[in-house]
Amino acid sequence: EAAHIYVAARPLPMEARAEKTLAGAKEGLIDALQQRLELSGDWSEEALEAELRAFAEAEGIGFGKVAQPLRAALTGRAASPGLFEVMRVLGKDEVLARLGDAATGRNPAVQHKD
Protein backbone atom coordinates (compact mmCIF):
# COMPACT_ATOMS: atom_id res chain seq x y z
CA GLU A 1 0.00 0.00 0.00
CA ALA A 2 2.72 2.51 0.94
CA ALA A 3 4.63 1.81 -2.28
CA HIS A 4 1.56 2.72 -4.34
CA ILE A 5 2.41 6.43 -4.06
CA TYR A 6 5.53 5.88 -6.13
CA VAL A 7 3.83 4.16 -9.06
CA ALA A 8 0.34 5.69 -9.05
CA ALA A 9 -0.84 7.09 -12.36
CA ARG A 10 -1.33 10.82 -12.64
CA PRO A 11 -3.32 12.74 -11.83
CA LEU A 12 -3.28 11.26 -8.34
CA PRO A 13 -6.58 10.74 -6.55
CA MET A 14 -6.71 12.91 -3.42
CA GLU A 15 -7.82 11.65 -0.03
CA ALA A 16 -10.16 14.09 1.73
CA ARG A 17 -7.53 15.14 4.29
CA ALA A 18 -4.94 15.76 1.58
CA GLU A 19 -7.46 17.76 -0.44
CA LYS A 20 -8.27 19.86 2.64
CA THR A 21 -4.56 20.45 3.27
CA LEU A 22 -4.04 21.66 -0.29
CA ALA A 23 -7.12 23.88 -0.15
CA GLY A 24 -5.83 25.48 3.05
CA ALA A 25 -2.34 26.17 1.70
CA LYS A 26 -1.11 29.69 1.15
CA GLU A 27 -2.38 30.97 -2.20
CA GLY A 28 0.14 30.32 -4.97
CA LEU A 29 2.27 28.05 -2.76
CA ILE A 30 2.26 25.03 -5.08
CA ASP A 31 3.10 27.17 -8.13
CA ALA A 32 5.93 28.85 -6.23
CA LEU A 33 7.27 25.48 -5.03
CA GLN A 34 7.17 24.12 -8.57
CA GLN A 35 9.12 27.10 -9.88
CA ARG A 36 11.69 26.88 -7.08
CA LEU A 37 12.22 23.13 -7.51
CA GLU A 38 12.61 23.46 -11.28
CA LEU A 39 15.82 25.36 -10.54
CA SER A 40 17.14 22.79 -8.08
CA GLY A 41 20.04 20.77 -9.44
CA ASP A 42 20.89 18.60 -6.43
CA TRP A 43 18.11 16.10 -5.81
CA SER A 44 19.58 14.48 -2.68
CA GLU A 45 17.39 14.34 0.42
CA GLU A 46 19.72 16.74 2.25
CA ALA A 47 19.68 19.30 -0.56
CA LEU A 48 15.91 19.07 -0.93
CA GLU A 49 15.42 19.65 2.79
CA ALA A 50 17.73 22.68 2.74
CA GLU A 51 15.96 24.05 -0.34
CA LEU A 52 12.49 23.67 1.16
CA ARG A 53 13.49 25.13 4.52
CA ALA A 54 15.01 28.13 2.73
CA PHE A 55 11.83 28.46 0.68
CA ALA A 56 9.65 28.45 3.82
CA GLU A 57 11.85 31.09 5.43
CA ALA A 58 11.74 33.27 2.30
CA GLU A 59 7.94 32.95 2.23
CA GLY A 60 7.73 33.85 5.92
CA ILE A 61 5.86 30.68 6.85
CA GLY A 62 6.63 27.69 9.03
CA PHE A 63 8.16 24.64 7.42
CA GLY A 64 5.03 22.56 8.13
CA LYS A 65 2.99 25.01 6.04
CA VAL A 66 5.21 24.01 3.11
CA ALA A 67 5.78 20.33 3.86
CA GLN A 68 2.17 19.27 4.42
CA PRO A 69 0.71 20.73 1.19
CA LEU A 70 3.74 19.41 -0.70
CA ARG A 71 3.20 15.93 0.75
CA ALA A 72 -0.48 16.10 -0.25
CA ALA A 73 0.37 17.20 -3.79
CA LEU A 74 3.00 14.49 -4.26
CA THR A 75 1.19 11.55 -2.65
CA GLY A 76 -2.53 12.37 -2.57
CA ARG A 77 -2.38 11.60 1.15
CA ALA A 78 -1.97 13.45 4.41
CA ALA A 79 0.55 10.87 5.67
CA SER A 80 3.36 9.19 3.76
CA PRO A 81 6.94 8.01 4.10
CA GLY A 82 9.46 10.79 4.70
CA LEU A 83 8.85 13.74 2.37
CA PHE A 84 12.44 14.05 1.14
CA GLU A 85 12.65 10.30 0.54
CA VAL A 86 9.42 10.50 -1.48
CA MET A 87 10.84 13.36 -3.55
CA ARG A 88 14.14 11.58 -4.17
CA VAL A 89 12.46 8.31 -5.20
CA LEU A 90 9.91 10.03 -7.45
CA GLY A 91 12.62 12.09 -9.11
CA LYS A 92 12.56 15.67 -10.28
CA ASP A 93 10.42 15.20 -13.40
CA GLU A 94 7.66 13.32 -11.57
CA VAL A 95 7.69 15.74 -8.63
CA LEU A 96 7.30 18.69 -10.99
CA ALA A 97 4.53 16.93 -12.93
CA ARG A 98 2.59 16.10 -9.75
CA LEU A 99 2.96 19.68 -8.53
CA GLY A 100 1.62 20.85 -11.88
CA ASP A 101 -1.40 18.58 -11.49
CA ALA A 102 -2.08 19.90 -7.99
CA ALA A 103 -1.62 23.54 -9.02
CA THR A 104 -4.19 23.21 -11.78
CA GLY A 105 -6.71 21.16 -9.80
CA ARG A 106 -6.45 18.02 -11.95
CA ASN A 107 -6.45 15.58 -9.03
CA PRO A 108 -9.78 13.77 -8.55
CA ALA A 109 -11.17 13.00 -5.11
CA VAL A 110 -10.72 9.43 -3.88
CA GLN A 111 -13.83 7.40 -4.59
CA HIS A 112 -14.76 5.39 -1.50
CA LYS A 113 -16.49 2.03 -1.85
CA ASP A 114 -19.58 1.74 0.34
- Please give the single-letter amino acid code of residue 67: A
**Predicted local distance difference test score (pLDDT) of residue 4:** 84
**Predicted local distance difference test score (pLDDT) of residue 1:** 58
Residue 17 near residue 113, CB atoms below 8 Å: no
Instruction: For residue 80, give every residue at least 6 positions away whose Cβ sits within 8 Å of its Cβ, in sequence order, or none.
Output: 2, 5, 71, 74, 86
pLDDT tens sequence across 13-69:
899 999 999 999 999 999 999 999 999 999 999 999 999 999 999 999 999 999 999
Give the span between the Cα atoms of 52 and 65, in whole angstroms.
11
Domain over 14-103 is classified CATH 3.40.50.261: no
What separation, in Å, do the N-terminal and C-terminal C-alpha atoms of the chain show?
Answer: 20
Give the span between the Cα atoms of 96 and 31, in whole angstroms.
10
Spell out the domain ranges in the chain. Answer: 14-103
60 burial class (0-12, 13-18, 19+ CB within 10 angstroms)?
exposed
pLDDT tens sequence across 83-97:
999 999 999 999 999
